[in-house]
Structure 1
Amino acid sequence: MIGTVFNCLTILVGSTIGSIFKKGLKKNYQDILMQAMGLAAAALGISSVVQYLPSSHYPVLFIISLAVGGVAGEWINLEKRFQQLVGRFSKSHLAEGLSTAILLFCVGTLSILGPIESALKGNETYLFTNAILDGVTSMVLASSFGIGIAASALVLFLWQGFFYITADTMANVMTEDLLTELSIIGGILILSTGLSILGIKKFKTLNLLPSLLIPVIVFAFKALLW
């Protein structure tokens, strides 16, 4: 778990530095930073989809996952519940920033494969690489949304901790094909949050989060049957 702890620390440090810069930034600079983060998120999302979609052996799975997961998320209304929770602590647009941070930090191959490699092989390389990227990203996000971005470190710790602890039991499920499907869906979710930040279209991205569970369930059943 050393890599995960280091990853969380870089987010905390980056968020602190970014929030300090935010206090001295005029609104026009904060606006341009938000536009930059929106464009960056959209670019990362497109890159992930373009990179992994051609490698998919189940080209329809991501469509089914988004449809089923979206309906489930809308029924639970994760977006509204998350905004209400964050609204208890902040009246600003922190909810949008936190949802962006959580998606960027958690929904990625490095953040999933990293803890698995750490648990099974003692290899922390992926997590250390991810930590540097997240540290810089959290700095930029906090300069736009404030110190509240640091809360995403707790979510990341629980996310990576889950994969670390269950690595042994999920080893036969966490195949390259599954990581490919998760990366495709994750890329779409990151793209949607980027478009939301840019004001192009307001997506209920958090309501689509259950989509990530669908490939896991499908591959788990596949592993049991075979």
Structure 2
Amino acid sequence: MFGVIVNSLAIICGGILGLIINKGIPKRLDKSIMDGLALVVTYMGISGALKGDNPLYVIISMTVGIIIGELIDIDNLLNKLGSYLDEKLSKKNISNSDEENKISKGFVSSSLLFCVGAMAVVGSIQSGLSNDNSVLLAKSVLDGISSIFFAASMGVGVLLSSIAVFLYEGIITLGASGLSNILSTNVITYMTCVGSLLIMAMGLNMLKACDIKVANMLPAMFIPIIMGIFNII
């Protein structure tokens, strides 16, 4: 849980800093920093994807996982969830002030960004399975820096997203740790490979080099578990 705690604290610290400097951040600096972070994410994805020895397992995992993800259309479901939460929390009525609506918008937007992503899932699984917090720690840096800019523009609601991140990543981490006795090293390796490809896709999306529905690929990360159960890998 160390990586989960650090990730949550990074968002809080970054958010506080963003509130302090909320008088404005130059747009050019904002874009340059986000582009740099996107390159780092892409590099992390490439380096992690090269850990496996047999690309066939990665191909099978990606193909089957994408088919499942597209049939379920996870990306569309998440978009609908985000729209629903935004509508409910940001809906104006007699009891809601403009400030409360701003808090709701910041909370919903930042929670979705920090939680819905391959790094959150892959990092939490690695933390639970092998106590490897490297991805979560790297994500903490990215989220901490991002929260500075988000809090500067969206307010204190960004800090509240740390609660959602803690619960989301914590549940995945604890769930993964319960599977540690039945998962082999090979299974973990290829889960990392597949997850790293999704991280790379996120980086490319951040660079606006493409528009990949990463959410619809998330099931691919769990296909190596099935192959491990049936002794395929």
Q: Please give the range of the TM-score, normalised by the shorter of the 2 chains.
A: 0.7 to 0.9
TM-score in terms of structure 2 length:
0.73
Task: Name which of structure 1's ranges 213-222 and 27-36 shifts more when overlaid on structure 2.
Answer: 27-36
Structure 1 spans left out of the alignment, 5+ residues? 119-125
In the other structure, the counterpart of 1:136 is 141
Q: Closer, same or farther in 2 for the Cα pair 1:96/1:172, shift >3 Å?
A: closer
In the other structure, the counterpart of 1:179 is 188
**Residue 85 of structure 1, CA deviation:** 1.8
2:212, 2:37 → 1: CA distance? 16
Q: Closer, same or farther in 2 for the Cα pair 1:12/1:93, shift >3 Å?
A: closer
In the other structure, the counterpart of 1:212 is 221
Contact (CA 8 Å) 1:8, 1:156: kept in 2 or not?
no
**Residue 59 of structure 1, CA deviation:** 2.4
Contact (CA 8 Å) 1:13, 1:135: kept in 2 or not?
no
**Residues 77-116 of structure 1 mapped to structure 2, 5 A cutoff:** 77-87=73-83, 88-89=85-86, 90=105, 97-98=113-114, 102-108=117-123, 111-116=124-129
Aligned to 1:199, the other structure's residue is in SS state: coil
Q: Closer, same or farther in 2 for the Cα pair 1:63/1:116, shift >3 Å?
A: closer
Contact (CA 8 Å) 1:8, 1:154: kept in 2 or not?
no
1:14, 1:63 → 2: CA distance? 40
Q: Closer, same or farther in 2 for the Cα pair 1:10/1:93, shift >3 Å?
A: closer
TM-score in terms of structure 1 length:
0.75
**Match for residue 55 of structure 2 among 53, 59, 64:** 59
Structure 2 spans left out of the alignment, 5+ residues? 87-104, 152-157
2:44, 2:130 → 1: CA distance? 23
1:21, 1:83 → 2: CA distance? 31
Q: Is residue 69 from structure 1 mapped to residue 68 from structure 2 by the alignment?
A: no
| Percent identity of equivalent pairs | 21
Contact (CA 8 Å) 1:69, 1:212: kept in 2 or not?
yes
Contact (CA 8 Å) 2:15, 2:150: kept in 1 or not?
no
In the other structure, the counterpart of 1:160 is 173
Aligned to 2:231, the other structure's residue is in SS state: helix
What whole-Å deviation, never above 9, does each CA across 1:32-67 have from its counterpart, x for those lacking one?
2221221111111111113x03xx3x4201111111
Contact (CA 8 Å) 1:69, 1:208: kept in 2 or not?
yes
**Residues 4-83 of structure 1 mapped to structure 2, 5 A cutoff:** 6-17=5-16, 19-20=18-19, 23=22, 24-50=24-50, 52-53=51-52, 56=53, 58-83=54-79
Contact (CA 8 Å) 1:8, 1:131: kept in 2 or not?
yes
**Residue 220 of structure 1, CA deviation:** 1.4
Contact (CA 8 Å) 1:4, 1:160: kept in 2 or not?
no
**Match for residue 207 of structure 2 among 186, 190, 198:** 198
What whole-Å deviation, never above 9, does each CA across 1:98-126 have from its counterpart, x for those lacking one?
367x3223314xx43432456xxxxxxx4
Structure index of larger Rg: 2
1:105, 1:8 → 2: CA distance? 10
Q: Closer, same or farther in 2 for the Cα pair 1:187/1:181, shift >3 Å?
A: same
Q: Closer, same or farther in 2 for the Cα pair 1:112/1:95, shift >3 Å?
A: closer
